[in-house]
Structure 1
Amino acid sequence: MNYWLMKTEPNTFSWDDLVNKGRDHWDGVRNYAARKHMMEMKADDLALFYHSVNEKSIVGIAKIVKEHYPDPTTDDDRWVVVDLAPERKLTNPVTLDVVKADSRLTNMVLVNNSRLSVQPVTEQEFKIILELSAQ
């Protein structure tokens, strides 16, 4: 299993939106690095769901339920989507400031390239985020 972090602006598509839909595709990615990560995702991989902009917090865990396929929102065949479903809301959101302050997470992509909308997360980083959420 692989782990990921997927960023969204909550006023565009929030954790609650995903929960209400039950399942949705992750569209609109127009960055080659993010696309590469989406193409590497496998069914049952887990993704940290991150609210960007004002909140800057990891708020939930989603599961990849369908591997990449052409993005239905564009005719440009370079872009793909994956389907995801909510797995569970975090006990407490984990803010970007908390992530940056934790010395165990200094190599996390979120700390070093916070603009990338889809990014890999190591298993250890994933476990640390869950630990921080429980505090």
Structure 2
Amino acid sequence: MAYWLMKSEPDVYGIDDLQTENIGLWDGVRNYQARNFLKSMQVGDFAFFYHSNTKPPGIAGLMKIVETQVVDPTQFDSTNPYYDPKATPEAPRWHTVKCQYVETLPQLITLDQLKMTFSPEELLVVRPGNRLSVMPVETPIAQRILQLGAFRATP
């Protein structure tokens, strides 16, 4: 089992949206490094749901990876902002995962809290200039985040 941190803007797709759906498709990732992280995920991994581009940004909850190697359908839709004209159904360029809702934190773990608790070497999201939407979290760091947020559902 591995841990991840996955960012989304809450006004586009937030933890409440995932809770409503229970299982959601993590679509629209268009960064090759983030895509490669998505491709390396395994069923049963856990991910921290991070609300980005909001005041304040931070970890809002927890989700579990329930399906991997899913072809991202947005790459084929010419009306979608994530359309990729070089992608074809026979040769898709973008894969993603399906995530299942696990828990919403009663209080956000803010980016400022994360910066006070973790170094940039420990947690990529606190690294200045880091814009990745999907990133790995080492198990000891994930365990500390789980304690910091007082998650009820501890994997």
- Unaligned 5+ segments in structure 1 are none
CA–CA distance in 2 between the matches of 1:80 and 1:106?
A: 28
2:80 equivalent in structure 1? none
- 1:127 Cα deviation from its structure 2 partner: 1.1
Of 75, 82, 103, which residue of structure 2 is paired with 1:88? 103
Whichever of the two has the greater Rg, that structure is 2
- 1:91 Cα deviation from its structure 2 partner: 4.1
CA–CA distance in 2 between the matches of 1:2 and 1:61?
A: 13
User: Aligned ranges for residues 58-69 of structure 1 at < 5 Å?
Assistant: 58-69=59-70
The aligned amino acid for 1:81 is: T
- 1:115 Cα deviation from its structure 2 partner: 1.1
User: Aligned ranges for residues 35-114 of structure 1 at < 5 Å?
Assistant: 35-54=35-54, 55-75=56-76, 76=87, 77-102=92-117, 104-107=118-121, 108-112=123-127, 114=130
- Unaligned 5+ segments in structure 2 are 77-86, 151-155
- 1:6 Cα deviation from its structure 2 partner: 0.3
Whether 2:120 is the aligned partner of 1:130: answer no
8 A Cα contact 2:6 2:50, kept in partner: yes
- 1:132 Cα deviation from its structure 2 partner: 1.4
Query: What's the secondary structure of 2:74's corresponding residue?
Result: coil
Query: After superposition, what is the alpha-carbon deviation per residue over 1:72-110, rounded to whole angstroms, capped at 9, x for unaligned?
Result: 1113211112000111122431111011111x4442111
CA–CA distance in 2 between the matches of 1:62 and 1:49?
A: 7
4+ residue runs over 2 A deviation = none
How many residues end up aligned between the 2 structures? 134
8 A Cα contact 1:90 1:130, kept in partner: no
CA–CA distance in 2 between the matches of 1:105 and 1:83?
A: 30
- Matched residues, percent identical? 41
The aligned amino acid for 1:5 is: L
The aligned amino acid for 1:89 is: T
